[in-house]
A and B are shown apart, each in its own frame.
Chain A
Amino acid sequence: MTLLDKLLQLLVAVAVFAAVMGVVLLVADRARGRRTDLVSGLAFVAPAVLLLVIGLLYPASRTAAQSFLDASSANFVGLDNYIRIFTQPDLVIVLRNTLLWVVIAPILSTAIGLVYAVLVDRTRFEAFAKALIFLPMAISLVGASIIWKFVYAYRPNQQNIQQIGLVNQVLVWLGFEPVNFILAEPWNNLLLIVVIIWIQAGFAMTLLSAAIKAIPSDIIEAARLDGVGGVRLFFYITLPSIRPAVVVVITAISIAVLKVFDIVRTMTGGQFGTSVVANEFYLQSFRLSDLGMGSALAMILFVLVVPIVIYNVRQMRKVDAR
């Protein structure tokens, strides 16, 4: 694409925006009489609602319908796709892995972020220490996966062969045999989960650190006067005070983890028993052209995310209300 093409596209995009705004303003302007506010309100909301219907509601309902159809979306197969997901051995592994991710990743990232936030709170190196753990957040999941692929990289213990993986080089220095980590089922799932923990711990730390700083200092002072300190201060004062923030962090990470696709695709492509629902959904829909199965997997993802989102929204309201 030439620069001219790009500029033209930019111009087109701006023009579309101007056109839509022009129409909206025109409609809002025509409103007369007592219902002016209602009409102009509708005029402003309508484009957003329209886009939501086209871009979200319609595809979602189509996906739901397709999940009951066969691979070519021609014949009705009822619950066949769902039954296969819960009975076919390699798809059951996919469900197991997704469960592993959702249980381990949010809890560990939040725990690490929380402990880190407490430890560096009000120390002299706080800013530097925070930057250190926050930096990985700036890296894309694909980039992070490639970095960690090198960390786990394996070369045989043989003459003329140099280790290129960090972990295996350390093992060789310590006198152990190098290990082909990516292959070790089911532990390789944990090695993949490490990547998202590495990224999300910074996010957890940032939010939780802010929450800790928001604890009124008189509460802490009162606790100290009562002789509470160290670990007990953490469990009796800090943790209960920031509970809503912890819940928000855990749920936010859970949603990110349910959608995880980039890491698995980049590091193993779902091989060696590491596939997760989001990856399998892509594979089935676009690689194998099995739209029914792909849709069913997408629906499962949807069903899993919804309660977390609802819970998250309610918690955020609580946090805001305080």
Chain B
Amino acid sequence: MPAPKSGSILRRPSRGTALISAALGLSLVLAGCGGSNVAGGGGGNPAASSQDCAPFAQYGDLSGTRVTIYTSIVSPEDQPHIDSYRPFEECTGAQIVYEGSKEFEAQLPVRVQGGSPPDIAYVPQPGLLNTLVTQNPGAVKPAPQAVVANVDQYYSETFKAAGSVDGTLYGAPLGSNVKSYVWYSPQEFTEKGYAVPQTWDEMVTLSNRIVADGGKPWCAGIGSGDATGWPLTDWLEDVMLRENGPEVYDQWVSHAIPFNDPRVVRALDRVGSILKNPDFVNGGLGDVASIATTTFQDGGLPILDGTCYMHRQANFYAANFPEGTDISENGQAFAFELPSINQGGQQTILVGSEFVAAFSDRPEVQAFQAYLSSPEWANAKARAGSDLGQSGWISANTGLDPNNLSNPIDRLSAEILQDQNNTFRFDGSDLMPAAVGSASFWRGMTDWITGQSTTDSLNYIEQSWPGSS
């Protein structure tokens, strides 16, 4: 060992010290790798729980295993999710690690391509699921047999198809939304003597009556950061369904007919007859163009002030009313189904859902997937949400008992989803390729509401369809 050079400020460490520190460091690195955010108090001894574990016997003993979940559902909506995993954790011994991120949609493909996907991701759009499956062969695992059986038994065909790619089921639906709602104030309606419209024409007649009474019947807001425009895609989809029926709607969504087909032009013009009518909008929020700059969260709030009477938005809008708002049949806010346009036609409901995609086929992951697609989970989730006083969550699982939902609007939504007489169609923009469904469709609708013509807007979206230019 040479003597330290004179004048050097630091004493050189002996070789032994350096070796030890290197080895220590490495072992600490290896020991320290691992996740965080452990959900619930699970992972204990399966026998020590107070839970009735009979329904979980089929999953076997999963002690010592863990399943990681990645989702866009963040606080406070994540708590009932985490709570709803407890029975599974207590009875099987598996540990569920929950991670929510608002940048989920951008981050998930990065994680998948980077080779570090979570075990399970809750994918909010079928289009994104499709992209993940087709762009990363083998990354997304097909749903296991138990999940397929659950989906066949408890979900309608629309939901199964939306979770499938090329006929293979990849994701079972998790939570669902009823989108074809018009929010209104039952108290205000009673006070003014207005009745809930049963047909589109009645709705227009009511709007005109409100104008004659000196009010602005409709309010809307489509601002949503870089997703600005999506509430208008729902509007167009709803009217497409009601005006042209589910078959034409399917052709439009799958691009069997062009995006700017004359029937679509007619449907968008019908949306415009309400939203681009300066007499009808934008109650309490400004002129027609203010729809573009009002956030979707604020869009329906004027209903509570009486400066607006109707607001078309999904069931989850319930969460945007201030705490303490009475959301019920005779309360300050409630919703009715967007009425049908053609008399006698079947009522078609626009729905949305997130899907459980798995990137791993370990037994505990498949068991958890099966649990999430079962009525046991749907009911556990409903109870967990009700216990916390939350609303806005429902499942399309027909095994869900609506009585487990504490909120009237949630109960109504669950009943609509379970009504065998309803036809369902999945949110079209979520099904379309990302270049359309989460880009040009949004931008086109935003330009349309700020003054661009119907034809120009639809032509712009049509030319952006992949492979059509």
The proximity string for A residues 231-273 relative to B, scoring 1 for CB distances below 8 Å and 0 otherwise, is 0000000000000000000000000000000000110111110
User: Is B289 a contact partner of A269 (Cβ separation < 8 A)?
Assistant: no
User: Is B26 a contact partner of A269 (Cβ separation < 8 A)?
Assistant: no
User: Is A15 a contact partner of B109 (Cβ separation < 8 A)?
Assistant: no
Nearest-Cβ distance from residue B166 to partner chain A, whole angstroms: 16
B29 contacts A by Cβ under 8 Å: yes
8 Å CB contact of B438 from A8, A71, A268, A287: A287
User: Is A23 a contact partner of B18 (Cβ separation < 8 A)?
Assistant: yes
- Contact A269 to B285, CB < 8 A, known contacts A1-B37, A286-B109, A288-B434: no
A182 contacts B by Cβ under 8 Å: yes
B284 contacts A by Cβ under 8 Å: yes
User: Is A272 a contact partner of B446 (Cβ separation < 8 A)?
Assistant: yes
User: Is A29 a contact partner of B18 (Cβ separation < 8 A)?
Assistant: yes
User: Is B29 a contact partner of A12 (Cβ separation < 8 A)?
Assistant: yes
User: Is B286 a contact partner of A154 (Cβ separation < 8 A)?
Assistant: yes
Residue of A nearest to B294 (CB): A154
The proximity string for A residues 169-185 relative to B, scoring 1 for CB distances below 8 Å and 0 otherwise, is 00000000000101100
User: Is A265 a contact partner of B292 (Cβ separation < 8 A)?
Assistant: no
Q: In chain B between 354 and 409, which residues have their CB closer than 8 angstroms to a CB of chain A?
A: none
A75 contacts B by Cβ under 8 Å: no
User: Is B439 a contact partner of A288 (Cβ separation < 8 A)?
Assistant: yes
B74 contacts A by Cβ under 8 Å: no
A59 contacts B by Cβ under 8 Å: no
Q: Is the interface of A mostly helix, strand, loop or mixed?
A: helix
B326 contacts A by Cβ under 8 Å: no
Please, which residues of chain B bring their CB within 8 A of the CB of A272?
292, 446, 450
Nearest-Cβ distance from residue B281 to partner chain A, whole angstroms: 11
A25 contacts B by Cβ under 8 Å: yes
Complex formed: what's the CA distance from A268 to B293 in Å?
A: 9
User: Is B13 a contact partner of A25 (Cβ separation < 8 A)?
Assistant: yes
User: Is B21 a contact partner of A19 (Cβ separation < 8 A)?
Assistant: yes
Complex formed: what's the CA distance from A1 to B286 in Å?
A: 44
- Contact A19 to B22, CB < 8 A, known contacts A11-B28, A288-B438: yes
Complex formed: what's the CA distance from A90 to B447 in Å?
A: 12
User: Is A265 a contact partner of B225 (Cβ separation < 8 A)?
Assistant: yes
B32 contacts A by Cβ under 8 Å: yes
Q: Which of B12, B20, B227, B284 has the most CB of A within 10 A?
A: B284
User: Is A15 a contact partner of B15 (Cβ separation < 8 A)?
Assistant: no
User: Is B450 a contact partner of A160 (Cβ separation < 8 A)?
Assistant: no
Please, which residues of chain A bring their CB within 8 A of the CB of B286?
154-156, 158, 180
Complex formed: what's the CA distance from A2 to B134 in Å?
A: 37
Please, which residues of chain B bring their CB within 8 A of the CB of A283?
226, 439
User: Is A269 a contact partner of B228 (Cβ separation < 8 A)?
Assistant: yes
Nearest-Cβ distance from residue A120 to partner chain B, whole angstroms: 38
Nearest-Cβ distance from residue A266 to partner chain B, whole angstroms: 8
Please, which residues of chain A bring their CB within 8 A of the CB of B261?
none
Complex formed: what's the CA distance from A12 to B26 in Å?
A: 9
User: Is B293 a contact partner of A154 (Cβ separation < 8 A)?
Assistant: yes
Residue of A nearest to B17 (CB): A22
B443 contacts A by Cβ under 8 Å: yes
Complex formed: what's the CA distance from A156 to B281 in Å?
A: 11
Complex formed: what's the CA distance from A18 to B24 in Å?
A: 9
User: Is B443 a contact partner of A271 (Cβ separation < 8 A)?
Assistant: yes
Complex formed: what's the CA distance from A90 to B457 in Å?
A: 13
Please, which residues of chain A bring their CB within 8 A of the CB of B36?
1-2, 5
Complex formed: what's the CA distance from A2 to B225 in Å?
A: 31
Nearest-Cβ distance from residue A286 to partner chain B, whole angstroms: 4
Please, which residues of chain B bring their CB within 8 A of the CB of A48?
none
The proximity string for A residues 1-26 relative to B, scoring 1 for CB distances below 8 Å and 0 otherwise, is 11001001101100111111111011
- 16 A-B pairs (CB sep. < 8 Å): A1-B37, A11-B28, A18-B25, A22-B13, A22-B17, A29-B18, A154-B290, A156-B287, A160-B305, A180-B293, A183-B289, A269-B224, A270-B226, A279-B226, A286-B107, A287-B106
* Interface, chain B (partner A; CB < 8 A): 12-13, 15, 17-26, 28-29, 32, 36-37, 105-107, 109-110, 131, 134-135, 224-229, 282, 284-287, 289-290, 292-293, 305, 307, 434-435, 438-439, 443, 446, 450, 466
Closest CB pairs A-B (n = 5):
A19-B25, A269-B226, A12-B32, A286-B106, A156-B286
Task: Knowing that A22-B13, A161-B307, A286-B110 touch, tell me 10 more A-B residue pairs with CB under 8 angstroms.
Answer: A2-B36, A18-B24, A22-B18, A23-B22, A26-B18, A156-B287, A180-B293, A271-B228, A271-B229, A271-B446
